[in-house]
Amino acid sequence: MNHSRSKISEGALSVITQLYFKHGVDVNLGDEKGISPLHMACTDGNMKMVKLLLKNDADTNKRDIYGNSPFHFLPSTNDQNFPKHTIKLLIANGADINLQNQNGLTPLTFATLGGNARLVKLLIGNGAD
């Protein structure tokens, strides 16, 4: 996973994604590990893509093969403003902030284990247990 994508490649990805939507591609299709475009957008901190995917009915509770939802992917983002806005957007679109993966870990557990105090506070402030 390349976290140093340029704005040009983000723009190209957005155009390609819009073309896929126009031609009926399932926005929830995942890769061989079940990682969906919404998982990737959360990992990359790409708010524009998160909004575009949600507008096109992305499943906010879609799980990868390990049971991780897009919320589980938030702790790996670096943008200081991204998690705050994304948490609210995912919840508004039906995401369960307390989903556990196959090991019983929640997004709050991931953030705690990763030492991300800011994300821990944001998750708890938005209803995480």
Query: To 5 degrees, how large is the angle CA 102–CA 56–CA 63?
Result: 5
The length of the chain is: 129
CB–CB of 49/42 below 8 Å?
Answer: no
Question: What CATH number belongs to 7-125?
Answer: 1.25.40.20
| Sign of the four-CA dihedral 45, 32, 111, 70 | positive
Tokens read off for 93? 């679109």
Query: Which of 17-26, 98-107, 118-127 has the lowest average pLDDT?
Result: 17-26
- Segment 54-96, tens digit of pLDDT: 999 999 999 999 999 999 988 656 666 677 888 999 999 999 9
pLDDT of residue 85: 87
**Overall pTM surpassing 0.85 (yes/no):** no
